[in-house]
Amino acid sequence: MIRDDDIPHLERCVQLAEEALAAGDEPFGSRLVDADGRVLFEDRNRIADGDATRHPECAIARWAAAHLSPEERAAATVYTSGEHCPMCAAAHGWVGLGRIVYASSAAQLVDWLSAMGVAPPPVAPLPIQRVVPGVRVDGPVPGLDRRVHGLHARLHCADATPPRRE
């Protein structure tokens, strides 16, 4: 369930995704927040240099492993503009991070990219729980998901419009 205090963190993730797009990267942004609501770390996609593993969720997992105790990691929340890919979900699980909240889902992204004629990614877009059973996951968030769609449309085609929600 999405809480009111989740929205500002998700909005910041969408801003980070916008920054990534402006820098020539795919539009993804993420933030790590501790149990008291303090922002600990945030990052955006950095794959434009050719290293496709430089996703913000992996950067969060590495930072958390280096700076937080296992208990602090388990109590933290990762906010992200888009649901973790399997690589990032695995990093999240191996490091023992807590709740994940995303603005848009992997299923939505697959649908959007397909509608834009974009080839599927080289890794299957599995839901987070298929990679990390038991992790608490909340999302997508109506309204914010459409903003994320708009960023992907800007990346892939200037005239794309978001699909209507049923």
pLDDT tens track, the chain, 166 positions: 999 999 999 999 999 999 999 999 999 999 999 999 999 999 999 999 999 999 999 999 999 999 999 999 999 999 999 999 999 999 999 999 999 999 999 999 999 999 999 988 899 999 999 999 999 999 999 999 999 999 999 999 854 444 443 3
Q: Model pTM?
A: 0.93
CA distances from 129 to 82, 126, 142, 157 (A): 14, 8, 21, 31
Give the pLDDT of residue 157: 84
List CB contacts of 130: < 8 A, sequence separation 6 or more: none
CATH node for 4-156: 3.40.140.10
List the chain domain ranges.
4-156
